[in-house]
Structure 1
């Protein structure tokens, strides 16, 4: 059903609980999808499966957490895991053995090469409870649920639109003179820019030095002081910088997993006097200068917030679909169409498109191919007496006033007022 609704496109990643039936189904239906187990559920099972161990609260639990969260490579994890089992005599524990066999589905170090948007638990599904707070309850009927579902989605769209408006019109001050921070300030949304600033403030706890140079690859060692529970520990990270491609990678894999460049990579860039990052480090999903395509699709919950760009988008899609159905069987027509599209795209990037648009607006008369003009229809006065103005009920006045306020707010947003 997912593939039917999404036109055959499978999800890139998926997080599930330890359910063998769902795991087998995903492997069959989504063979290219990378899925993982919810780490939170597995960690909750530690006290159930190993709580009876005499040293569970005296080193065993901390050792498991250390192996999971502090291992930067798969080799480090396997070595620390083996030492942990030998130290606490757990080689015969069935649950640990079965969990180790499926380590690629839940151990963080095996999942760092995949983009997870910062998620490692099923928190998004749990947040559905908060999503419906104030809209539905245990006694809600099916009909009421459908109406309230649209109201909840409408509220979510309003909040998202407000947040996007604030990101476009409110500027968060920089905390440093690092030019890369100005890049993120200009491009990223406010929420994501705050995450970048947290990494920038962490530069004060990082010491970096050059270790080796092999052709165009520079290797840095970064010593980071991490604070947790009023304690501090020092962790070594390796940063690799490719001078030819201006590419920087860190063993913490923060960018690969969350889409945010880490403090260790920023320290390496600072050491090499790199003040500008390539566009690859600015993901489209968190850019405030790009229009999200899904906002142009009309839905059942945005009737009050319908815009002209939404109507234009729908009109263009319909016209293009008709044209595609006509010319898709003819290669020559397809090449000609693509040529015109490319030319129009280049024109829109410059000032020609704007001047053409202004000239069209200045002369609104539309001329047909045969020289005929489309004129405005004449206003014909009715023969009967014009109707008297009826008395408007107070409820209708309030509804009309509310509708005008909504239109006024939307107009202000469109004009960036």
Structure 2
């Protein structure tokens, strides 16, 4: 049966399995059923963004069910088709390099369109139906067209494929449905343990700063270690950047930043010019590379401008909660089979309140009056609950018996039980 996983990114930048489905077939009706099932499980909350391969039936289902979701195609899958489509071309190597340069290195949409048309003329590809279809759908896959939306750094669907290979350690072609459910839970347990380990490391160990820049130290106190490594890469990348020119446009300064980029092995340095707009009032900043919009992390070009303008604290708008190590995630309170018994009743109570809270938020947000009334009610309820909690905590005694973990059978034992 086709396995359809929903893969996201957690606060460590690691892949997280949000859910999955087993389908009878891969036609549009099956995907429509799958996406509607997702909406049911998520109380009507659709994904903000989704990446898939060039599956036409999946695209039809997404446009019908997730109408307000940003939808793009995996450009890695598209580029992998180049040998099959143009391998017989007499100038294939040059054509491949030209197309890769357009897809990966275009800074602006106008530059991308110009270089694409030039490529079509130079290699006489006017009659290529595949290439023409790609150009018509360029707003769904070429990075320069989609990087102004937030994708948590995702550019391809390879995380989904790597997650499929992750399950190879737990299931195989002979696995029954019953075994799959049990082994699926076991695979999730490994994910949860890995995330808890990363949480512990982020709280209890700190990475060394690269240069001691105050902005860098600010992120050190807020972000997880894995995200800090990306920040470190951008801080180190400032060595290859240089501000060449500054222009004034009203209250905004426009910086021309020159970056020296070293390509793959054997390639020489190439110069890339980028414009950074900076407004002193509020420290608003925007870079032409769109790294913050796309990945949620400030780029080296913005850091260069902040250092030039002596900005030592990044405004809160540029510090995303999704990368913070001190933020409590809602999915961490969901009951699962790996919970200790001592926590199970608490999480069941939490889950029973979740749908009511969603309905409360929807009704309260309908008007300003509803929001005002709901806010007053919540404040009264929170104060009462906190008072009750303080009274109960002072009168209660700590538990002396350690929690016992539920038994999770090994893959060998599960398989043996099915066979015999």
| TM-score where L is the length of structure 2 | 0.77
For 2:103, the equivalent position in structure 1 comes to: 68
Question: Pairwise mapping of residues 116-127 of structure 1 onto structure 2 (< 5 A)?
Answer: 116-127=151-162
> In structure 2, do the counterparts of structure 1 residues 177 and 257 end up closer, same or farther at CA, with 3 Å as the change threshold?
same
Contact 1:154 1:302 in 2 (8 A): no
Report the Cα distance in structure 2 between the residues aligned to 1:18 and 1:130, rounded to whole angstroms: 20
For 1:45, the equivalent position in structure 2 comes to: 81
Kindly state the Cα deviation for residue 253 of structure 1 after the two structures are TM-superposed: 0.9
Question: Pairwise mapping of residues 341-360 of structure 1 onto structure 2 (< 5 A)?
Answer: 341-342=378-379
**Aligned partner of residue 378 in structure 2, secondary structure:** helix
Report the Cα distance in structure 1 between the residues aligned to 2:306 and 2:75, rounded to whole angstroms: 33
**1:189 and 2:227 matched:** no
For 1:243, the equivalent position in structure 2 comes to: 280
**1:164 and 2:199 matched:** yes
Kindly state the Cα deviation for residue 357 of structure 1 after the two structures are TM-superposed: 5.7
Structure possessing the higher radius of gyration over alpha carbons: 1
Report the Cα distance in structure 2 between the residues aligned to 1:334 and 1:260, rounded to whole angstroms: 33
> In structure 2, do the counterparts of structure 1 residues 87 and 147 end up closer, same or farther at CA, with 3 Å as the change threshold?
same
**Aligned partner of residue 197 in structure 1, secondary structure:** helix
**1:18 and 2:57 matched:** no
For 1:139, the equivalent position in structure 2 comes to: 174
Gaps of 5+ in 1: 365-399, 407-417
For 1:108, the equivalent position in structure 2 comes to: 143
Report the Cα distance in structure 2 between the residues aligned to 1:322 and 1:98, rounded to whole angstroms: 43
Report the Cα distance in structure 1 between the residues aligned to 2:188 and 2:221, rounded to whole angstroms: 29
Aligned pair partner of 1:206 in 241, 264, 276: 241
**Aligned partner of residue 52 in structure 1, secondary structure:** coil
**1:3 and 2:32 matched:** no
For 2:315, the equivalent position in structure 1 comes to: 278
> In structure 2, do the counterparts of structure 1 residues 277 and 125 end up closer, same or farther at CA, with 3 Å as the change threshold?
same
**Aligned partner of residue 127 in structure 1, secondary structure:** helix
Kindly state the Cα deviation for residue 257 of structure 1 after the two structures are TM-superposed: 1.0
For 1:289, the equivalent position in structure 2 comes to: 326
Kindly state the Cα deviation for residue 100 of structure 1 after the two structures are TM-superposed: 0.9
Two-structure CA RMSD over aligned residues (Å): 3.3
Report the Cα distance in structure 1 between the residues aligned to 2:219 and 2:144, rounded to whole angstroms: 28
> In structure 2, do the counterparts of structure 1 residues 405 and 33 end up closer, same or farther at CA, with 3 Å as the change threshold?
closer
Kindly state the Cα deviation for residue 228 of structure 1 after the two structures are TM-superposed: 2.3
Question: Pairwise mapping of residues 329-340 of structure 1 onto structure 2 (< 5 A)?
Answer: 338-340=375-377
The Cα offsets for residues 266-292 of structure 1, whole Å up to 9 and x where unpaired, read as: 111111111110122222121011111
Report the Cα distance in structure 2 between the residues aligned to 1:30 and 1:362, rounded to whole angstroms: 49
Kindly state the Cα deviation for residue 82 of structure 1 after the two structures are TM-superposed: 1.2
**Aligned partner of residue 188 in structure 1, secondary structure:** coil
Contact 1:153 1:301 in 2 (8 A): no
For 2:291, the equivalent position in structure 1 comes to: 254
Kindly state the Cα deviation for residue 322 of structure 1 after the two structures are TM-superposed: 11
**Aligned partner of residue 249 in structure 1, secondary structure:** strand
Kindly state the Cα deviation for residue 306 of structure 1 after the two structures are TM-superposed: 3.3
Question: Pairwise mapping of residues 378-389 of structure 1 onto structure 2 (< 5 A)?
Answer: none
The Cα offsets for residues 175-212 of structure 1, whole Å up to 9 and x where unpaired, read as: 11210001110000000011100110011010113421
Kindly state the Cα deviation for residue 315 of structure 1 after the two structures are TM-superposed: 7.0
> In structure 2, do the counterparts of structure 1 residues 267 and 403 end up closer, same or farther at CA, with 3 Å as the change threshold?
same
For 1:412, the equivalent position in structure 2 comes to: none
Kindly state the Cα deviation for residue 128 of structure 1 after the two structures are TM-superposed: 2.1
> In structure 2, do the counterparts of structure 1 residues 214 and 143 end up closer, same or farther at CA, with 3 Å as the change threshold?
same
Report the Cα distance in structure 2 between the residues aligned to 1:76 and 1:4, rounded to whole angstroms: 43
**Aligned partner of residue 117 in structure 2, secondary structure:** helix
> In structure 2, do the counterparts of structure 1 residues 343 and 245 end up closer, same or farther at CA, with 3 Å as the change threshold?
farther
For 1:264, the equivalent position in structure 2 comes to: 301
Deviates more, 1:44-53 or 1:339-348: 339-348
Contact 1:224 1:236 in 2 (8 A): yes
> In structure 2, do the counterparts of structure 1 residues 133 and 336 end up closer, same or farther at CA, with 3 Å as the change threshold?
same
**Aligned partner of residue 187 in structure 1, secondary structure:** coil
**1:54 and 2:86 matched:** no
Kindly state the Cα deviation for residue 340 of structure 1 after the two structures are TM-superposed: 4.4
For 1:175, the equivalent position in structure 2 comes to: 210
For 2:26, the equivalent position in structure 1 comes to: none
| TM-score where L is the length of structure 1 | 0.78
The Cα offsets for residues 78-136 of structure 1, whole Å up to 9 and x where unpaired, read as: 11111111122222222211211111111111101111111111112202233324322
Contact 1:210 1:218 in 2 (8 A): no
Report the Cα distance in structure 1 between the residues aligned to 2:215 and 2:275, rounded to whole angstroms: 21
